[in-house]
Amino acid sequence: MSARPNTAPHTAPHSAMVLAAGLGTRMRPLTAELPKPLVRVAGKPLIDHVLDRLDTAGIRRAIVNVHHHADQLIAHLGARKRPEITISDERNALLDSGGGVRKALATLGPDPFVIHNCDSIWTEGTRTNLGRLLNHWDEDAMDCLLLLAPTVASLGYHGRGDFALDPAGRLRRRGEREIVPFAFAGVSIAHPRIFDDIPEGPFSLNRPWDRSIEGGRAYGVRLEGHWMHVGDPAAVAAAEEWIAHADER
């Protein structure tokens, strides 16, 4: 079961952190001369799939971190009008997912925000998944809320799952020899407090997530539709084929 929709007044996120600083190693040779966020899927760069989705959901501002072929990505983003974009420059040192967000906290501000990977796209169900995620957010009960894709309806994912959900929608990590039904779909909402007492420097988002899980304040929402993890050139081709025939499924 996913987290229950929130019906109490809450601070809806209006900002997002877009994680775009990776080296794109598994996407080579496509990323030899191109940053991974500019790899095209179905005629559109991955980062524009993300930013268009954020704009549609009412996210007004996006902080985008850059590293690999940063000048190309910055030039591309300069042509966009919405959402408003701020660059978080990581050319001096890669900070991993959590460290990149931690570096941008002063720009993100004190309110909850969306965190979005660049290699995650999906087909929608009857409602937009990002809209559903925003609607489920409850900052009184949650420190983080993750969008979770059923592994049986996912493309490009070959693992044993990342998380299970309890009846209230709280996250539980997969055990060492366990198979669980959900993979992280690359999008979450976080309250800045999950980074309290974590110093600057490289670290994974798993670090604050695990602390939130331990405290019973990490929740999940099940993705509707089909999730595509676009991590390598073969996955690009598979995703394009999937999108082209989505209406037939």
Using alpha carbons, select from 193, 194, 191 the residue that is nearest to residue 211.
194
Residue 230 domain-assigned (yes or no): yes
pLDDT per position as a tens digit, 32-56 = 788 889 988 878 899 999 999 999 9
Residue 6 domain-assigned (yes or no): no
pLDDT at residue 115 in the model: 98
pLDDT at residue 119 in the model: 83
Residue 205 domain-assigned (yes or no): yes
pLDDT per position as a tens digit, 93-133 = 999 999 999 999 999 999 999 999 988 888 887 889 999 99
12 or 130, which is more confident? 130
Q: Which residues contact 175 (CB under 8 A, 6 or more apart)?
A: none
> CB atoms < 10 A from the CB of 222, how many?
19
Number of domains in the chain: 1
Asked whether the predicted pLDDT for residue 8 surpasses 60, the reply is no
Residue 151 domain-assigned (yes or no): yes
Yes or no: say if 79 and 47 are a contact pair by the CB < 8 Å rule: no
Cα–Cα distance between 84 and 15 in angstroms, integer? 9
Q: Which pLDDT band, with edges at 50, 70 and 90, does 135 fall under?
A: very high
Cα–Cα distance between 23 and 44 in angstroms, integer? 20
Residue 137 domain-assigned (yes or no): yes
Q: Where are the beta strands (DSSP E) in the chain?
A: 15-19, 40-41, 44-45, 61-66, 84-89, 113-117, 120-123, 144-150, 154-155, 163-165, 171-173, 182-190, 218-222, 226-229
- The mean pLDDT of the chain is 88
Q: Which pLDDT band, with edges at 50, 70 and 90, does 242 fall under?
A: low
Residue 9 domain-assigned (yes or no): no
Q: Which residues contact 202 (CB under 8 A, 6 or more apart)?
A: 93, 94, 95, 96, 99
Asked whether the predicted pLDDT for residue 159 surpasses 90, the reply is no
51 or 159, which is more confident? 51
What value does the mean pLDDT take over residues 16-32?
79
Yes or no: say if 111 and 184 are a contact pair by the CB < 8 Å rule: no
pLDDT at residue 153 in the model: 77
pLDDT at residue 7 in the model: 47
| Token representation of residue 224 | 């509707």
Asked whether the predicted pLDDT for residue 248 surpasses 90, the reply is no
Yes or no: say if 65 and 19 are a contact pair by the CB < 8 Å rule: yes
pLDDT at residue 24 in the model: 65
Residue 237 domain-assigned (yes or no): yes
pLDDT per position as a tens digit, 161-190 = 889 999 999 999 998 888 999 999 999 999
pLDDT at residue 106 in the model: 95
Asked whether the predicted pLDDT for residue 144 surpasses 60, the reply is yes
Asked whether the predicted pLDDT for residue 143 surpasses 90, the reply is yes
- CATH number of residue 23's parent domain: 3.90.550.10
Report CA-CA distances (Å) from 68 to 21, 47, 98: 6, 14, 18
Residue 23 domain-assigned (yes or no): yes
- 164 is in which domain, residue-wise? 15-248
